[in-house]
Amino acid sequence: MEEPLVRPRSLTAEAAGLRSGAPGLSEYVDRLCALVERVDPLLHAFVPEPGRHRRLRARARELTARYPEPTGRPPLYGVAVGVKDIVHVDGLPTHGGSALPPGVLAGPQAAVVDRLLAAGALVAGKTVTAEFAASAPGPTRNPHRPGHTPGGSSSGSAAAVAAGLVPLAIGTQTVGSVIRPAAYCGVVGFRPTYGRIPVAGVIPNAPSFDTLGVFTADLAGAALAASLLCDDWRSAGDAGVDGGGDGAGAGSAPVCGVPDGPYLERAEPAARRAFEEQLTRLERAGVTVRRVPLFPDFAEVTRQLQTINRFELARSHADWFARFGGLYRPETVASIRVGQGVAAEDRASALQFRERLRERVAAAAGAAGVDLWLAPSATGGAPEGLHGTGDAVMSLPWSFLGLPALSLPAGRTPDGLPLGLQLVGAAGEDERLLARAASVERVLARP
């Protein structure tokens, strides 16, 4: 068996230590760069960057001079963050996982990077992405089993957090590009409500779905990152949720819905068995679990999402593809060609279908008293090989609807690969999702 490269680090602990001065930023940067130089030639989570150490040492000196006193330091003071390589960062070229000339893809720094820097973070580097956040994979390996995919398209971000290269990384999700790699790599992935983190400065895939998200080692780290990156963030108390309690039987314990039907049947047998075991553990701990028929027309949901996705991918790349189509990889070319054949009226019809589906799902949740939907984060463990990124289908309906979703590490396949439990909240209720997920995380953490 291949040697695992798994050493995730707590974002909250690392941020607290850096603000207190332990370690100092120069020492922290030296350790970070030494770790990347040692591990990343095996993992390929980061886009290669000559001069990374020099750049980070200069940024560390700036931060040290700006914030000499611990009490005045911002929440992510000095924390190293990986940024997916479709997100523009001043001073770092954007490749988008492609062979296109970086200058062609250049643009203003992304709003999410502005927020990271305002919080005191260090951009450790660009993380590898599937080509243009679609399906043609990059070279990144899964830290748990390097011969297996880390998922995609946010492959480098998930792997970098799982391997402990950084405690926080930024990804994007159009269909399943945060939740699935989080599950495959055994870390937490949070994809907020569509539009909650501004996507200005991010190369588009399908703008009706594209959403920025985060990877961390645990739920507390995801909550910290979300509070700094999402628009109009409220505390759990302001959101009307008591985040305290012990989990089992606590007032904060959510009512969890299981979406029975064709959608759930897409999970592989091992993932379904693990999911049922997780539901049993939650019920024994006092969490209410209700099975609700949902998505009986799941094949049509899939078709309508793909109609919008392919149309918008072709539209997003119309100019670049006309000039540089010969440099695109075959998987991306095939998707763009399909999108070029989709009529604008078919996309409009699919968007209307989505609005009706939103009403149906909200009504089903209300009728059953469901606070959170639960499902496997992926169809199973990470597939062997690096030629693909796995199946995004378990994220598909929630991404279609723009609902906030979270993947918690939960169990393993019979051969030891990580699995994830997906929690999905109501639109705009990201704070409630994270607060309520705490009771679920506590149950899953028990022996």
Active-site positions?
84, 153, 177
| Tokens read off for 55 | 């750049």
SS (H, E, C) the chain: CCCCCCCCCCHHHHHHHHHHCCCCHHHHHHHHHHHHHHHHHHHCCECCCCCHHHHHHHHHHHHHHHCCCHHHCCCCCCCEEEEECCECECCECCCCCCCCCHHHHCCCCCHHHHHHHHCCCEEEEEECCCHHHCCCCCCCCCCCCCCECCCCCCHHHHHHHHCCCCCEEEEEECCCCCHHHHHHHCCEEEECCCCCCCCCCECCCCCCCCEEEEEECCHHHHHHHHHHHCCCCCCCCCCCCCCCCCCCCCCCCCEEEEEECCCHHHCCHHHHHHHHHHHHHHHHCCCEEEEEECCCCHHHHHHHHHHHHHHHHHHHCHHHHHHHHHHCCHHHHHHHHHHHCCCHHHHHHHHHHHHHHHHHHHHHHHHHCCCEEEEECCCCCCCEECCCCCCCCCCHHHHHHCCCEEEEEEEECCCCCEEEEEEECCCCCHHHHHHHHHHHHHHHHCC
Phi, psi for residue 86 in degrees, rounded to 5: -120, 5
Amino acid identity, position 119 = A
Q: Are 175 and 396 contacting, i.e. CB atoms less than 8 angstroms apart? A: yes
* Cα 153 to Cα 184: distance, rounded to the nearest angstrom: 12
| Tokens read off for 44 | 């390929």
| Tokens read off for 235 | 């505390």
* Cα 124 to Cα 34: distance, rounded to the nearest angstrom: 12
Listed as own residue / partner, the contacts of 268-272 with beta carbons closer than 8 Å and 24 or more positions apart are 268/379, 268/380, 270/380, 270/381, 270/413, 270/414, 270/419, 271/376, 271/378, 271/379, 271/380, 271/381, 271/413, 271/419, 272/376
